[in-house]
Structure 1
């Protein structure tokens, strides 16, 4: 959420930043609401002072036996009370309207973010590894002979409908091994605290990280009112929801492996084959909570943690700096990692790492006490996939596929598979 004081002080700058997002100027409507709200508050305070004065004078009139003056002043007090209640109700209504307006406005991009409309305007900033040359025509993950016995879409559809998968045998073990490998790497080498979180959260938590109120259709809500998390970003970031922490406790760096749930609203017809786009999937999420001074510098560091996963697995990838038109709602700057999928003969997103500044913290009211003293400040937040487990499984299978339908597995996974190095054409590990 945005700081209304900053908009008051520099509305032109605010609108210019929105224009880079392709949005029209909003400061006039924001400031109009803000002005009306403040006017109602001021009027209520003036009326309250007048009521207090009249009440005091009524007491004096009663004391000296001036019944006529007492009755007049008592009627004035009563009228002022009704007037104040009406003004306060109108101020509350305007405050809600202003908050809802601010809640629906995306974060402002950093000046370093390239201007653009969509993914075609993103900028490649790094490339690692060379796509493998095959002496046969590589296929997509679900077409590999060794994968077919362990990747069952028909049974999943019987159980749950479209965009679900049932993993078994060797494929299921590789999937589990990938998550364990990622968690160990982040905890042991990158210094993130391994965390296990709920997958059901309250609405306030979804508001805090920006999924609500604008993007509710993208997630699932239970009859009891809980929301199924679309990513552990929601739970990890909200660990400081409503808190006032010491600056010395920052940064807080966490990683969590969780189930994730997304309705995929608006994605009809996209990636319907295979397990690239599912309603239920697993992800290892990274979150950093920092102070205002170090948040921006944490972004490339976090990107490096995600890149390290791909490099340990020997998966070619490229890092993209997203343009203003392709960034997510809560981000100030985003790096996407795109892994090479030989079955599709293209790079596909496997991680998105974003710096949000104090945007989420304002929604969560999460602040810290500066070590040097002074007023509390909002924390800064970052989040990123480290990585999406299912998409990493796809990349491992496609890049390691062999002509006989087997799959050669990355060395980094061998310890997690009890020394097994290959997925055989029959779906078993060897």
Structure 2
């Protein structure tokens, strides 16, 4: 009896006998939700019983989950065991394949970027190419995972890839041989007393490999070292902690590198440099382009905001969201977009990308002006950035947009195969009083 009295009077104590607009709305929302769930089960049962061919429950439920996540944004997804294996490969392993980073765009497999020194890169497959056929078979309608599985295979086996490229009238066929793709994230070289550090991805080795590259360059050049070029072009991103480690190598301890902000105002995390600048303040130029995304933009944005580096090239991809891996069992997980990240000055990279301090087109690419550019903002259901276009993000007057009085043919005659890199080298050379190799006109409006 005591329990009955307690429960009988509890609603009165909570004021629940007087419905508020909030409780009425919540009840209405719950009713709508249950009604829609009933509808989902009705569809499930009808398809299960009446579809022209027998369909497994697993296939139907997987499709429902995939559809739910696809309605959110381009980067949220369900991961099964094969997806887990693929993710581990991207972050710390090796595989037999072509060396391509791809995504799905309107049902077509699109090349995000070829990995340096792989069959795909050597054959000439380019960022922005659309893969239509594999070994002569049309792949339109396959899932991204299915297409990737077809491209991977034992090293030494041949494969034919057909791509459609913007500006080309006919499809292009490539015959390649699969190799063991070792995911070496960092390569370096010294040119004209400048250390050039090429970072192609952010996997588990990237931070340590970048610090090792700095040490090796300093040891090789010594006191004549003019500075560093960090080449992040066509780098699709990777692990957040490795972007923080790379930034830390060029910043003094205590400087903010990036912050991430979630759904609630209290869900804010900030990451700071923890060690002294390993380069002792040497000049730095960062190269970015339309394929520089995610972790690449964290590094470029951090060094730009701290005025630690001059960023040159083209506006980056604009992926400013954070995905969290949420385990759902022993072999499945949910990759869910849970936050946006911001540069130290508070800029959201989502859609906006990183605007270079100096816009430098890749004039050594004969077709650069006609090549179609796809960024985050072009993807279906990409998260919107309400600040894009605001003066708070960037002032056009803050950017330098030179007019270059030099042609593709002149660059070829001069032996310059990478105009953007040469421009970066010239900047560091001129800081030391050396003449540049590139003929440039005065700055345009």
- Choose 1 or 2 for highest CA Rg: 1
User: What TM-score do you get using the length of structure 2 for normalisation?
Assistant: 0.25
Q: Which has the higher contact order (CA 8 A, sep 6+)?
A: 1
Q: Name whichever structure is richer in helix by fraction.
A: 1
